[in-house]
Structure 1
Amino acid sequence: MALELASRGLNLVLVDLDAANLREIAGTIRSRHGGVETKTMVFDLSLLTTDQGDEPLRRLREAMEGLDVGVRVGEQHLRCVGRPGAVFLHEVEVEAWARMMRVNLYVAQFSRGLHVEYASKGIHVQCQAPFFVATRMVENLVEERRLSPFTVTPDAYARAAVRWIGRGGALCTPSVRHQLLWCVAAALPEFVLDWILLHSHLEQRALLRRIGASKAPSPPSSTHEVNSTAN
């Protein structure tokens, strides 16, 4: 989204909880769109309403002071606030769920309320609801579960998303492929959809566990274990 907006000449304030991501995207924007100005700010949105969030919020306000903001894009998804993929409730730390809810809970209804309240003032609020986008978050799922027919690339989704800014009301799905999935989901009986979602998430849970196990460091050799025990 940042690259797509930069390609249209918009100066950007980039906010992320990962400093490395900020350096990477800011560097890419400078190399591709030299005339676009960027500011970067490390800020964890899940700290809002907590004591730890007061100082980062103050610095964010200082960074934004005097800027004429025309578009604000807030990208929210479960992985960004610490939820480790598809898991059961009892498998997640309480703090991880609390961070997720502080960032994601009631986003669609909140956006609709803001849209109704401020549309007459020329401020349009829109919640875009996609399905799978082929980011690093889902790349393994795409490879193993063959989701590619309904999975769009980040560039394709960003182009569609920017085109829909200011159109489509308070809630929309910019990608045509994702619109088709919403239509299928809406046509299914609720119990069928529940069954599909449950089994889909169980498959994701099993897949993510296999991926995690494959990336785990190899156990020490038996000789090393014996020596360690002897010591």
Structure 2
Amino acid sequence: MLHLSCNSSNGNYYLHLALVFISCVGLIVALKHFITISKWIFNTFFRSEKDFITSYGSWALVTGATDGIGKAFAYQLAQRGLNLVLISRSCQKLETVAGEIKGKHPHTKIKFIEIDFSGDISVGLRRIVEVIQDLDLGIVINNVGITYPKAMFFHEVEEKVWMDIVKVNIEGTTRVTKAVLPIMIQRKRGAIVNIGSGAAVVVPSHPLYTIYAATKAYVDQLSRSLYVEYRHYGIHVQCQVPLYVATNMVSKVASIKRDSFFIPTPEGYARAAIGEIGYEQRCTPYWSHSIQWYFARLIPDPLLDAWRLSIGIRRRNERISSIP
């Protein structure tokens, strides 16, 4: 009887230890999630944005500045008192946007440079270096980017189409960054914001837009490495990862005609994005995008892959059926 009693006591003791261990693990996991959610709430809704002029400089450079997110960024930066160097492929559109901004912010100084990033950009890059040489350049928004005209399997994509995507999204971002870094190193301050995509980071694949997703994955890795390389120079490199934003480009490829709960306007996105500059190395600025990202990480990759492929095929078929 004594022997049986000892075994029973030992069993209860080990059961108690197991319950204590499970409780501790559960408490740690719950605490981790509580800290994560609390940090997200603070960063998204309460954290103050940087004083850009004091922290970085009085001029900002924006590529792809005549439409969508780039144009919205330009307005937001002008609203905060920064002068602008605007870059796009259409001189006429640059003049129009510059006039619109100066109409609302008459004290903003604006310079613009015409560059077609799908062509030879050597002359344009030399022009960038000349223009910024005597400016207190503090912020660079590498926003320019293009994608497929419609959902397509890779073997269907014409070589010029995917080569242009590589040239604009990879070479454009890389060479503009290379052009502005020396002046930032000299001044020992600056912020470079590269616009990535949820197609490369939030979900594990983006079928039927393969080259676009691959180029944005490059932008993400480039940003991460540059962040480590140049932070001791006082230069903050950040990759912003938006999901769908109601821009003309998204409208063409995803048949999204207007903003919604999960799809902000370019202006809504830019307002949120401005507040993230100078903080995390990678971020998803718009609050509903970050919620989508959180839940996407809980879904197994094979399910996400199958879901993304089905969406891509549906869009491809819709485009084909719409052709007369």
What TM-score results when the alignment is normalised by the length of structure 1? 0.80
Relative to 1, partners in 2 of residues 1:210 and 1:31: Cα closer, same or farther, differing over 3 Å?
A: farther
Q: Given the alignment of the two structures, is residue 10 of structure 1 paired with residue 122 of structure 2, yes or no? A: no
Q: Report if aligned partners of 1:133, 1:152 keep a CA contact under 8 Å in 2.
A: yes
Between 69-78 and 199-208, report the one with greater CA deviation.
199-208
Following superposition, the deviation at residue 148 of structure 1 comes to 2.5
Between 18-27 and 92-101, report the one with greater CA deviation.
18-27
Between 198-207 and 30-39, report the one with greater CA deviation.
198-207
Task: Give the SS at the match of 1:45.
Answer: coil
Residue number in structure 1 paired with 2:135: 67
Distance of 2:319 and 2:259 partners within structure 1: 15
Which stretches in structure 1 are left out of the alignment for 5+ residues?
215-231
Following superposition, the deviation at residue 149 of structure 1 comes to 2.7
Residue number in structure 1 paired with 2:247: 135
Q: Deviations over 1:10-50 (max 9, x none)?
A: 00000112334322321210111110011111112344xxx
Task: Give the SS at the match of 2:137.
Answer: coil
More strand by share: 2
What TM-score results when the alignment is normalised by the length of structure 2? 0.58
Match of 1:45 among 113, 117, 120: 117
Residue number in structure 2 paired with 1:87: 152
Q: 2:256 corresponds to which letter in structure 1?
A: V
Question: How many positions carry a matched residue from both structures?
Answer: 203
Match of 2:229 among 102, 112, 117: 117
Residue number in structure 2 paired with 1:31: 103
CA RMSD of aligned residues (A): 2.1
Distance of 1:209 and 1:27 partners within structure 2: 40
Q: Report if aligned partners of 1:142, 1:148 keep a CA contact under 8 Å in 2.
A: no
Runs of 4+ aligned residues of structure 1 deviating over 6 Å after TM superposition are none
Larger radius of gyration: 2
Task: Give the SS at the match of 1:125.
Answer: strand
